[in-house]
Chain A
């Protein structure tokens, strides 16, 4: 419900600002070509720490309702500033401006922002006050949706709400002598 309310507020605001809107009034800030290029750059430069599915590894997840939450109150410019100044962590600022913008485009797409006809630019990303909220999963141009449900998954989300991990993921596990065990999450 909070997500729906946020989208509504956002839509009204964007209409006033003249920013192109996609489905459900979500702003279209980048082009599909940028997201595709950003995906390739992400896999080379970001995935080692943030995971191939942006699910988080040694660095935080960059996709989903926990990352892009109303509570976090991120604007696009907030994330882009840190991305373009301090990432990748092993060589901050080492990518081209185009690569940073493309990666930002890819992250927007992975958080449910639709592509549009107008390309994102460095200047736009650096100043965009558009709230970075998770709007659900778009069908990926380069990747099939993945099944969730394991303990290693972040809670999945849809427009109907956030789905917590299965109950078996969160409790004491005693291992008895001779018991067979498996290792899905550890």
Chain B
């Protein structure tokens, strides 16, 4: 087996954090003028030559209009350059590209700017966290990348800072801490830029944090609005919690949302309630496990849809709500499609929050079905003290955060999937800042009906039904990207970048084995008329920590980060 390690030295670069060099050479000397990122460019990000935001555009499709790399020539991809990082934790950052500037983040919030064509490091910023214990970071010390606006680049940090840095020099322009570190809160998501605001969401559903979505002024860092995700008494949803429990009710908002300009609506997903054991907090526990439709200028709620009512299985509703248009049973809908942790694929009317359809995309027994568009659960599968249940999917989800891609040409959604179930039982717990707040014990096991741990599958968004399925012996923990060239890209745990035929799922190309497994989404961009595909390898994240019976089969995957950039020969 050829590995990327064996490729010529000239395309490999190893750069460390320990060297301080004066900033005499700004990025502009090495990558040309930096094209400012305007509101107009962000609004048209889908057709930009770069990759300007987390899921490429506000709709979150992760679909690029480029055709240079296509089904006929993708097998001619070769490595142009790579960059190595030696931190041993997980790499979940999408490479963000503007002009010839490419930005990645690493575990523990290092931000690196590179020349997108040559791989030359322009600058590197290591966010200092000297007094931080990472005590309330559940699932590896990851960072999912940056946002761009004007001449600045934005990063959210594990100790709850939002940072703005100059994109060409790496100098900090402003910083703002939203919450102290180690008391329940952390941030791992890529920020979103919208209407001059930088918008982020807090994690902490496993530690009894009361989470929120926060908008700041992108130029100054001033706080603009905060949307708490657990409802207080006297507010919409405030009567869905026992007295006072919303204050430590979780509802993390740890994945970047999407934006619909046609209705001026910001969509953001909300995570699990705390503690996990639902019997301790009777009620629907709004707005946990929900999709929020928000006024972007105020954060006020237009409507909400709860994917899992009164969750006790840790089915965060944070996975990307993708904005699309679909035709279901003869009617055209302006829709949201979303593959949930609870194992159901949802299509929701984005004008009013009404369910269009929902179908399971993996074995799903906890949420048993839908009545009048509202999900209901199998109450026999709710754990309690002295009651152990077996249900599917596991708390890791039918898929975890790894984003789907929706191809407007094929009308297919490409969905990373894991086939797991779990045992779960009630356990004692109490709230203490900085400690886990679960109230359940559990173990992830194999879905007894499926011999594979994972898959990348294509689902027809007009029907909710599977069209093709690429099964994997290992879990499929990486995001997906599709292109107008008819190719779907995604990486495997074993460490290959795959190119699939978007319509059939046939494997058109597979890279040589990368230095580690892939848990990050890929991106693609054009510079000087040439199309590139970028992917970070770097195994880690939640699966190797909480993966139960999966963990032994994953333990030999090498650690360490490596950014690879491919192009046609």
Task: Report whether chain A binds chain B.
Answer: yes
Contact of A82 among B170, B436, B547 (CB under 8 A): B436
Q: Mark A162-186, 1 if CB is under 8 A from B, else 0.
A: 0011001111111111010111111
- Distance of A73 from chain B, by nearest CB (Å): 8
A183 adjacent to B16 (CB under 8 Å): yes
Residues of B within 8 A of A182 (CB): 16, 18-19
B428 adjacent to A164 (CB under 8 Å): no
Contact of B435 among A82, A94, A150 (CB under 8 A): A82
Interface assignment of B398: CB less than 8 Å from any CB of chain A: no
Interface assignment of A6: CB less than 8 Å from any CB of chain B: no
A38–B131 Cα distance when bound, in Å, is 27
A184 adjacent to B18 (CB under 8 Å): yes
- Distance of A33 from chain B, by nearest CB (Å): 28
Interface assignment of B263: CB less than 8 Å from any CB of chain A: no
A-facing residues in B157-181 (Cβ within 8 Å): 170-171
Contact A61 B85, CB 8 Å, known A74-B435, A90-B545, A176-B25: no
A48–B539 Cα distance when bound, in Å, is 13
Residues of B within 8 A of A124 (CB): none
Interface assignment of B329: CB less than 8 Å from any CB of chain A: no
Interface assignment of B540: CB less than 8 Å from any CB of chain A: yes
A85 adjacent to B428 (CB under 8 Å): yes
A174 adjacent to B14 (CB under 8 Å): no
Taking residues whose C-beta sits less than 8 angstroms from the other chain, chain A's interface range is: 35 or more
Interface assignment of B438: CB less than 8 Å from any CB of chain A: yes
A78 adjacent to B18 (CB under 8 Å): no
Residues of A within 8 A of B545 (CB): 49, 58-59, 89-90
B-facing residues in A15-57 (Cβ within 8 Å): 48-49, 56-57
A82–B157 Cα distance when bound, in Å, is 26
- Distance of B47 from chain A, by nearest CB (Å): 33
A185 adjacent to B130 (CB under 8 Å): no
Contact A170 B120, CB 8 Å, known A179-B19, A185-B18: no
A170–B157 Cα distance when bound, in Å, is 14
- Distance of A1 from chain B, by nearest CB (Å): 17
A-facing residues in B1-41 (Cβ within 8 Å): 14-25, 30
B18 adjacent to A183 (CB under 8 Å): yes
A171 adjacent to B128 (CB under 8 Å): yes
Interface assignment of A100: CB less than 8 Å from any CB of chain B: no
Q: Mark B521-550, 1 if CB is under 8 A from A, else 0.
A: 000000000000000000010001111100
B120: nearest residue on chain A (CB-CB)?
A177
Interface assignment of A95: CB less than 8 Å from any CB of chain B: no
Interface assignment of A119: CB less than 8 Å from any CB of chain B: no
Residues of A within 8 A of B133 (CB): 56, 60-61, 66-67, 69, 72
A89 adjacent to B546 (CB under 8 Å): yes
Residues of A within 8 A of B106 (CB): 186
- Distance of A50 from chain B, by nearest CB (Å): 10
A172 adjacent to B130 (CB under 8 Å): no
Count of A-B residue pairs with CB < 8 Å: 157
B16 adjacent to A170 (CB under 8 Å): no
A79: nearest residue on chain B (CB-CB)?
B435
Residues of A within 8 A of B441 (CB): 85-86, 92-93
Residues of A within 8 A of B15 (CB): 175, 181, 183, 186
B-facing residues in A131-186 (Cβ within 8 Å): 150-151, 155, 164-165, 168-177, 179, 181-186
Give the interface centre of A78, A85, A173 by most chain B CB atoms within 10 Å.
A173
B432 adjacent to A170 (CB under 8 Å): no
Interface assignment of B371: CB less than 8 Å from any CB of chain A: no
Taking residues whose C-beta sits less than 8 angstroms from the other chain, chain B's interface range is: 35 or more
A91 adjacent to B135 (CB under 8 Å): no
B126 adjacent to A181 (CB under 8 Å): no
A64–B14 Cα distance when bound, in Å, is 31
A186 adjacent to B16 (CB under 8 Å): yes
Residues of A within 8 A of B19 (CB): 173, 175, 179, 181-182
A151–B427 Cα distance when bound, in Å, is 39
Residues of B within 8 A of A129 (CB): none
A184 adjacent to B427 (CB under 8 Å): no
Contact A175 B18, CB 8 Å, known A91-B443, A155-B131, A186-B85: no
B540 adjacent to A58 (CB under 8 Å): yes
Interface assignment of B195: CB less than 8 Å from any CB of chain A: no
Interface assignment of A81: CB less than 8 Å from any CB of chain B: yes
B21 adjacent to A90 (CB under 8 Å): no
Interface assignment of B57: CB less than 8 Å from any CB of chain A: no
Interface assignment of B89: CB less than 8 Å from any CB of chain A: yes
A78 adjacent to B435 (CB under 8 Å): yes
Q: Mark B130-168, 1 if CB is under 8 A from A, else 0.
A: 111111010011000000000000000000000000000
Residues of B within 8 A of A78 (CB): 432, 435
Give the interface centre of A60, A78, A175 by most chain B CB atoms within 10 Å.
A175
B560: nearest residue on chain A (CB-CB)?
A186
Give the interface centre of B23, B87, B128, B133 by most chain A CB atoms within 10 Å.
B133
B-facing residues in A98-145 (Cβ within 8 Å): none
Contact A177 B551, CB 8 Å, known A56-B133, A184-B17: no
Contact A183 B21, CB 8 Å, known A72-B182, A164-B130: no
B85: nearest residue on chain A (CB-CB)?
A186
B30: nearest residue on chain A (CB-CB)?
A177
A183 adjacent to B443 (CB under 8 Å): no
Contact of A168 among B18, B30, B444 (CB under 8 A): B18
Interface assignment of B67: CB less than 8 Å from any CB of chain A: no
Give the interface centre of B16, B87, B90, B110 by most chain A CB atoms within 10 Å.
B16
Contact A176 B21, CB 8 Å, known A48-B555, A56-B134, A60-B135: yes
Contact A60 B16, CB 8 Å, known A172-B23, A186-B106: no
A54–B171 Cα distance when bound, in Å, is 33
Residues of B within 8 A of A61 (CB): 133-134
- Distance of A3 from chain B, by nearest CB (Å): 15
Interface assignment of B387: CB less than 8 Å from any CB of chain A: no
A169–B127 Cα distance when bound, in Å, is 9
Interface assignment of B121: CB less than 8 Å from any CB of chain A: yes
Residues of B within 8 A of A49 (CB): 545
- Can you identify 14 A-B contacts, CB atoms within 8 angstroms? A58-B141, A58-B545, A90-B548, A165-B130, A168-B20, A172-B20, A173-B19, A175-B122, A176-B24, A181-B14, A182-B18, A186-B18, A186-B85, A186-B86
Q: Can you add 11 more A-B contacts, CB < 8 Å, to A175-B123, A184-B16?
A: A61-B133, A67-B135, A72-B133, A78-B435, A81-B428, A85-B428, A90-B545, A92-B441, A169-B17, A185-B16, A186-B85
